[in-house]
Structure 1
Amino acid sequence: MQKQTLFLSSLLAFCFIASAAFAQLQSPEEFLGYELGDRWTPHHRVLSYVSHVAEHSDLATIQQYGTTNEHRELVYLIITSRDNHENLEEIRMNNLRLAGLEDGEPTENKKAIVWLSYNVHGNETSSSEAAMMTLFELVNPSNSESKQWLESTVVVMDPMINPDGRDRYVNWYKSVVGTTVNPDPAAREHREPWPGGRSNHYYFDMNRDWAWQTQKETRHRIKVYHQWMPHVHVDFHEMGYNSPYYFAPAAKPYHSVITEWQTEFQTMIGLNHTRYFDEEGWLYYTREVFDLFYPSYGDTWPTYNGAIGMTYEKAGGGSAGLAVLTETGDTLTLKDRLTHHHVSGMSTVEATANNADRVVSEFEQYFDDAVNNPAGAWRSFVVKRDSDPDKLYHLLKFLDSQNIRYGTAGSSDNTRGYDYSTGQTGSVSISEDDIVVSVRQAQGQLARVYFEPNPELSDSLTYDITAWEAHYRFGVEGFALESDMTPEMGITPEDVRTPVNSGPERPYAWLVRWDSMDDARFLAEITEKGVKSRFATRDFEINGEQYDRGTLIIPRGNNTHLGDRFDDIIRESAANHERSLTGSATGFVESGSDFGSNTVSFIQKPSVAVISGEGTSSLNVGEIWHYFDQQLGYPVTLINTDDFARTDLSSFNKLIVPSGFYGGVLSDSAMEQVSTWVRGGGTLITVGRANSYFTGRNGFQLERKAQDAEEPKVDEMLEPYGDRARRSAANSTPGSIFNVKLDTTHPLAFGYDEDYFTLKLSSDSYNYLSSGWNVGTIRDDAWRSGFAGAGARPMIENSLSFGVQNYGSGRVVYMIDNPLFRGFWENGKLLFANSIFLVGN
């Protein structure tokens, strides 16, 4: 009995010691069972480790803020001192009061806030490994220096922004690597297959989505960002494996709203990094390539929200694997990459903590200046209330998502301003119900970025598109004013559209106007539910009401198969999409065509296929996929290019060919297959670069626009080698806005006015169709906003943007410009819906 008692006592003592040991904070190596850099840590184990730290350190807390499309958890951590944790809500609210985003006076408890964002690009994997190392060092009980930093600083850490893309990459790599890593760049483990892990589930580049928030991961994250409004934000990336390390200060051009302090502190942080990098002999560079202009990056969008926004880039990327030989003969390892990101992350926290008081005061000054001393010439932006209500509704929803305030003009006025529709400055008329956005508000700088007619560009060599103005993007009318207007607050998005139902309970036909993507969503829903619809190809009048071309006419006679469910489906779907319904007791019209006329076209139910896979642009495939799956709510079938030649197209009546390079993918026999299918009645839709593959082939009428040949001038021939990039830019446009004239009598343009504003992503241009319908054309003097080189503008002017060719019994829709680019060009989306539902019927 005594031996048994001793044994039990010993066992209990052992269990207590083991339990205590297990409860202790562990380093990543102790917790994971391997050294960071030896292998990749998948999302669920990264999540386990950061949760472990939050559980066993009183300096860290963790919070889930959403899930991805593939149901992986998105989390962020708050790392700061014990005292700060006890007063965290006071600190957070104080910061929002400093920015003028919350009412009330802040207390003296103000702390610098640093936000560290990791792995927005899934195949730039080292940063999530670095996040675990940085997290541990910030809370490490033996690190007295970091504890001192956390007294004056709150660190917000998002360890993995894009877990879907990252796990796609990591799982692929593990499936192709052997026992020994092969650093030879020619090895298959360095040749990531389509679509790669860079993007999220829908193949979107989420580092271009901060402002537009088209992706659910971004929307979840921005809600948390707005709760904190950090003073410093770092986005960790990787670039080509032969590059060294890039950190702030950023390259020019800077957007003109960026303040001297934001520029100065970028440099201060960069110089702090150099102390550590110089000591280790690590190569780095600054002030090149990565500029601060396009507003939807992880460095620019935070900058326009008052932060010091920065991108850090380490050599690596999807081609680096766990180890790769560089051009210098050195071996770059995952360990190297994560270590450098760890050092720059810790250095950022250190530099911020050492300047915490000024960081906070300059942040407050940024928002104070926005209200009391706004920069730039433009003081107010007007959106005409008589713009399409749906487009106006979505613009206001966007402004709400950005914390930008707006209101009505309150009174009528005649003044001078820039008219977005004409591109001219002159006399403009403002009505009392027009909506006004003043730059004299907390988010005034951000409002200016979104609305200024033509952002000032100090250098033509930029990293991304140079135009995104909100009137053009949403398709609304309005003006920019140099004078101040104080809006009357109180209007909401819901106030600008008020759906109305009228007519008999059981009408002869239901009528729904065709003006916006919301109408297309309604049509998509009722079509999926079995409703058969028609649309007017001519304007008509009934019961004293005028209806434009494109109006949906949904007759009871075509839907007897639905019985009593017919009216319920229409009403429920209209309510779902806030559509106005008019019930007509007759098919006889006062002018135009009666509902039974052949000019009232039957909408054949679209069966849509999209080519995807090698040779296609994964980004454009993702834009199309997301458009159908998440925006339109209509089924689409993605067909791999490898399988295309074996696919029976007879079950589809719409085929979309995304932007891409098809020379090595679609064979001559596959092209003949497509041609035969179109001649038999199909509708082919070609987007962006895909159009070049169809130029002059198999009866396709599209022709490239030839550039006028000129004898080279002597000064051009003697131009220095160092100016080659600038000379090339003169013939390009990285993304600018041009006016397109639409033929509104063609179904592709139904729901639009004559003037549409397109986003031109290159100077590649095509002639007007000699035999076909030139539905969207760019004429002379069509440029509106953004950089377009002196050689690019003549190529773009007098060229085709959108065309339709009859081809046998079928149609070809040429979309030279991509209306779905990054999912944010809202006014282009109805064009795509028209090509699916209306063209070919």
Structure 2
Amino acid sequence: MNLMLRLFAYFFLVISHYGFAVSDSAYLPRDTEYNPNITSPTQALGAEVGEWHVRHDQLANYMQLLAAQSDRVSIVETGRTHENRPLFLLAFSSPDNQKNLAAIQAKHMKNLGKSANENDPLILWMGYSVHGNEASGSNAALLVAYYLAAGESQKIDDLLNNNVVLLDPSLNPDGLSRFAQWANMHKGKTLVSDPQNREHQEAWPSARTNHYWFDLNRDWLLLTHPESRARITQFHQWRPHVLTDFHEMGSNSTYFFQPGIPSRKSPWTPRKNVELTAKLGDFHAAALDNTQQFYFSGESYDDFYYGKGSTYPDAHGSIGILFEQASSRGHVQDTVNGELSFSDTIQNQVTTSLSTFEGALANKKALLDYQIEFVEQTNDLVKDDDLAGYLLQEKLDNTRLNKMLSILAAHKIEYWPLARNTKVDEQTFEAQHSYFVPLNQPQYRLIKSLFSTRKSFDDNTFYDVSNWNLPLAFNIQYVEVERVPRINKQSASASQAILPKLQSSAYAYAFSWDDYNAPKLLQRLLANNVKVKVAGAAFFAKTDQGGTSFSAGAVIVPMALKQPDNVMTIIEQQKAGLGISVHSIVSGLTTQGIDLGSRKMLNIRQPKVLLIGGKGTSQYEVGEVWHYLDQYVDMPVTITDVYELDSFNLEPYTHMIWVQGAYNNLSDGVTLNIDTWLRKGGVLIGQKSAATWFSNKNWLQVAVKSASEINSAFATDDLTYKDKENLSAKQRIAGAVFEAQLDLSHPLAFGYHTKTLPTFRNSTLVFRQPAKPFISVASYPQTPLMAGYTAQEIQNQIGGSAAVVAHNVGKGKVIAFANNVNFRGVWYGTSRLLTNAIFMSQFIDSQG
């Protein structure tokens, strides 16, 4: 034990003698004694668990303290959050096992899917509070960790002597800390249970989310955030038999544990998974019966989308289990089931944590056998599949392709570059830009899910998205192949292009708009006072390396403009690590297309973007825009609450972005200010319901179909009351992929080179086609659905409608998207539309 940990442990042992409560026995089994040399949660906190909401720093400090005091515990820091909070994973096992933990882990991974015996360890992963305001999980983690580290009973010996319990005490530290601050700052000496009390009405944005206001429980597959990347790395180093995911739900509910609705599982998850989940569920039911708690199972929740904590394990032969506790959303709240205290919610999470241990040990042989059976069945599925795998290709945007490949690699999905050009269905896949993803590998089931274009399902009700096709999200060309092509197994890494060196004698410097990092480089140059032009049409320029073609949208740094003295150094520094070729142009006269002095070369000034958030707007969509512009464009964004606009000065801002929200109650003064700003030259950008509001204010000259018009397409004459839920499911889009057709000549399509653009839709908003020409940037074909479920009645409404529209309003521009172009931070294929709306808006010249 190092000196700091010794001092840390001594501090907590000393303060326990100064009048603090020391007993946590009310939450834990009565037949268990505890090692007095190990600090209890109450001793560490100076208050009973549940008296206050634990902050992440308190939680992390206690977990480190247990690791210092108990020889049953080891701890690793797996990563850091956006707000630089540490992410910890604890491993609990017997002292002898702790001495050989690395060997136990290595043996488990080596034997994965092979013959098992009763001496093989179960690996049980306990995960708590991926949503920060569902705090009972992380507070329960304090007690579960103490039970495992200090408890003395035969049950604990049986659990730890031949098994390993992994504990992730907080999957969302930033959100947990935000919520603890909120709940604690509103707690009085006399608790207030009124649901309308401010304590129970959390401010926008809610602490459900992480730093960028994302739902981390949807990120297990997408790996947009460091919390998820750290967790998935550990998951694949341990491959647990059981993984638990502790949540909260509405206060007026009770307690839920899986299995959910059996028909709503992923088609790639074996039925045996549901059966084992149900067997473990018997132990949860018995434990909750013993404490006379309400609960339910086998209903409401689905297990379809592999990107959630309780479903990702199902793709790997693990048993993922979701727990949902009715939330006190503070310290105590009145509900339809009576008064619900925070300690009550913690108790139930502790109870089912312990019943998970009991159920797993009772079903140990079945769980060990299941991982073997899972592998055997996967091998059979591979043999029976007519496909050999998938070919991927992206010629012009290495950043976008490499990012998708990095996600595959993080999920232990193998891919290989082609050894030679390969032709499939009249398409040539060039070896330099193409990769093969074979199906004959352990991750077969996950791959089938990631490349699925399935459109029909036995049960059409989805709690979350109905499709997650990764190549469609990244707009990567791909095809199914029935035979394995020639591949280069010497290297699976993406090829690295040799970038040209800048020449000090250049007439101008230029780079294309094709790469995903191009907006970031443009923003960096503008931020460093470099004068920049953007090409409104294609040209073929003379460079120091010969002739080079540039498509519309290319960025030019002309030396004819007054540039900083060290402009070449600035360009070199700002392009570092971006993988973008910056060419040295030797003449302003081009051999084809526009010249560098053309009127179609427009000066671009640094944008100043205002993002509208606050109560009434979607925290997820605001966060997605912020995350994209901050992380991928290096663009500072001013965020303001929508109801601050009454007194807000819009004049400094060049662009204003609005997302899904409720805006009809904004004052006439606000709309007048926006109208004036817009007509003077502002660029107004909106998506989904914001676009509807734009239309209602006559800024957007596009009509939007009403919800009643869309719902009227569904026949209801012969329906009975039991059909109500099914009709509701059909009248929404939980999440599906739709094809849009781009007008490649439009400025908002600069950087795109194929007309077909997969878009993600999770709303039924429909733009009518504009009456005037040149306004539609992208439209949906008559049969637009590419993947996932959407009722035919809604498909018919969307078919032929507009997807992206843009036109002038006075000296300004209005741009509208029917869908969310930044969905969950991973829809790379459409997020470039947003940067085009920012940087290329000057080129728009069509009257609404």
Give the CA deviation at 1:484.
5.5
Does the 8 A contact of 1:611 with 1:656 survive in 2?
yes
Give secondary structure in 1 for the equivalent of 2:696: coil
Q: Tell whether 2:601 aligns with 1:588.
A: no
Shift of residue 598 of structure 1?
Answer: 0.9
- 1:322 aligned residue (323, 331, 349): 331
Is contact 2:420–2:486 with CA below 8 Å preserved after alignment?
A: no
Equivalent runs, 1:399-798 vs 2, <5 Å: 399-410=408-419, 434-454=434-454, 457-483=457-483, 487-495=487-495, 497-501=496-500, 504-543=503-542, 544-558=547-561, 560-563=562-565, 565-664=566-665, 666-705=666-705, 716-752=716-752, 753-771=754-772, 773-798=775-800
Q: Distance in 1 between matches of 2:703 and 2:711?
A: 24
Shift of 1:378: 4.3
Alpha carbons 1:777, 1:800 under 8 Å: kept: yes
Of stretches 349-358 and 466-475 in structure 1, the one that deviates more from structure 2 is 349-358
**Counterpart for residue 45 of structure 2:** 32
How many angstroms apart in 2 are the aligned matches of 1:22 and 1:355? 29
Mapped contact 1:244–1:284 kept (Cα < 8 A): yes
8 Å contact from structure 1 (residues 152, 353) kept in 2: no
Change (3 A) 1:581 1:699: closer
Could you tell me which amino acid in structure 2 is paired with residue 585 of structure 1? V
Quote the offset at 1:314 in angstroms: 0.5
Q: 1:223 aligns with which of 220, 233, 237?
A: 233
Residue 266 (structure 1) aligned with residue 277 (structure 2): yes
Gap change, CA 1:107 and 1:263, over 3 Å in 2: closer
Partner of 2:9: none
Residue matched to 2:362: 354
Q: Could you tell me how far apart the structure 1 residues matched to 2:501 and 2:149 are?
A: 64
> Quick one: structure 1 residues 556 and 149, their matched pair in 2 at CA, closer, same or farther if it must change by over 3 Å?
same
Residues 548 and 107 of structure 1: CA distance in aligned 2, closer, same or farther (over 3 Å): farther
Structure 2 length-normalised TM: 0.90
Distance in 2 (CA, whole Å) between partners of 1:390 and 1:145 is 52
SS state at 1:562 partner: coil
AA in 1 matched with 2:658: V
1:289 aligns with 2:291: no
Of 234, 250, 270, the residue aligned with 1:240 is: 250
774 and 99 in structure 1: CA distance in 2 versus 1, 3 angstrom threshold: farther
- Displacement of 1:94 in angstroms is 1.8
Per-residue CA deviations over 1:19-45 (Å, capped at 9, x if unaligned) read 9x9971133234333332222222222
Q: CA deviation at 1:698?
A: 4.1
- The separation in 1 between residues aligned to 2:710 and 2:530, in whole angstroms, is 58
Given residue 762 of structure 1, which amino acid in structure 2 is its aligned partner? S
Q: Which residue of 1 aligns with 2:407?
A: 398
Residues 148 and 300 from structure 1, CA distance in 2 versus in 1: closer, same or farther, beyond 3 angstroms? same
Cross-structure match for 2:846 = none
Is the 8 Å Cα contact of residues 253 and 291 (structure 1) preserved in structure 2?
Answer: yes
Residues 485-532 of structure 1: CA distance to partner in whole angstroms, max 9, x if unpaired? 68542334431x414316744311112111132111211221211112
Residue number among 350, 371, 374 corresponding to 1:342 in the alignment: 350
- Tell me which amino acid in the other structure corresponds to 1:383: L
Q: Which residue of the partner structure matches residue 418 of structure 1?
A: none
State the distance in 2 between where 1:714 and 1:209 align: 34
Q: SS where residue 677 of structure 1 aligns?
A: helix
Corresponding position: 1:306 with 2:305: no
State the one-letter code of the partner of 2:367: V
Deviation track 1:150-205 (CA, whole Å, cap 9, x = no partner) reads 22321110111112111211212222232111112122221111111111111111
Match in the other structure for 1:86: 99
Partner of 1:175: 185
Distance across 1 between alignment mates of 2:805 and 2:395 = 29
2:68 pairs, out of 19, 42, 55, with 55
Q: Provide closer, same or farther for how the CA distance between residues 483 and 355 of structure 1 changes in structure 2, counting only shifts above 3 A.
A: farther
Structure 1 residues 645, 96: CA separation in 2 closer, same or farther (over 3 Å shift)?
Answer: same
SS of 1:651's equivalent in the other structure is: coil
Residue matched to 1:834: 836
Moved more, 430-439 or 234-243: 430-439
2:837 is paired with a residue whose SS is helix
Q: How far apart are the structure 1 equivalents of 2:171 and 2:588?
A: 54
Instruction: Report SS of the residue matched to 1:325.
Output: strand
Q: Report the Cα distance in structure 2 between the residues aligned to 1:41 and 1:73, rounded to whole angstroms.
A: 15
In structure 2, what residue type is equivalent to 1:631?
Y
- SS at the partner of 2:320? strand
Farther off after superposition, 287-296 or 64-73: 64-73
- 1:347 is paired with a residue whose SS is helix
Distance 2:115 2:394 in 1: 36
Secondary structure in 2 matching 1:806: strand
> Which whole-Å CA distance do the structure 1 matches of 2:731 and 2:482 have between them?
33
Whether the 8 Å CA contact 2:124–2:242 is kept in 1: the answer is yes
Distance 2:713 2:436 in 1: 50
TM-score of the two chains, using structure 1 as the length reference: 0.91
Partner SS, residue 36 of structure 1: coil
Separation in structure 2 between the aligned mates of residue 260 and residue 368 of structure 1, nearest angstrom:
14
Equivalent residue letter for 1:719? L
Change (3 A) 1:282 1:356: same
Letter of the aligned partner of 2:552 in structure 1? R
Structure 2: state its 5+ residue gaps.
Answer: 1-12, 19-33, 844-848
SS in 1 for 2:842: coil
Q: Which residue of 1 aligns with 2:144?
A: 134
Amino acid at match of 2:334: L
8 Å CA contact retained: 2:517, 2:632: no
Q: Distance in 2 between matches of 1:442 and 1:108?
A: 24
Q: Secondary structure at the match of 1:583?
A: strand
Aligned counterpart, 2:24 = none
C-alpha separation in 1, matches of 2:714 and 2:697? 38
The 1:698/1:256 distance shift into structure 2, 3 A limit, reads closer
1:89/1:696 CA distance change after superposition, 3 Å: same
**Is contact 1:804-1:811 (8 Å) kept?**
yes
Change (3 A) 1:651 1:593: same
Residues 180-199 of structure 1 correspond to what in structure 2 (within 5 A)? 180-199=190-209
Native 8 Å contact 1:137 1:143 kept in 2: no
Amino acid at match of 1:354: A
Q: Is the 8 A contact 1:705 1:799 kept in 2?
A: no
Deviation at 1:705, TM superposition (A): 2.7
Offset at 1:820?
0.6
Q: Structure 2 CA distance, aligned partners of 1:86 and 1:357?
A: 25
Residue 5 of structure 2 is matched in structure 1 by none
Alpha carbons 1:210, 1:218 under 8 Å: kept:
yes
Indicate the SS of the match to 2:517.
Answer: helix
1:388 deviates by 3.8
Aligned counterparts of 2:230 and 2:709: Cα–Cα separation in 1:
52
Aligned to 1:501, the other structure's residue is in SS state coil
Kept in 1, the 8 Å contact 2:743–2:755? The answer is: yes
Q: Return closer, same or farther for 1:92/1:333 CA change in 2, 3 Å cut-off.
A: same
Distance in 2 between residues matched to 1:711 and 1:115, nearest whole Å? 44
Q: Distance in 2 between matches of 1:532 and 1:499?
A: 26
For 2:786, give the aligned amino acid.
Answer: R
Going from structure 1 to structure 2, the CA distance change for 1:696 and 1:661 (only over 3 Å counts) comes to closer
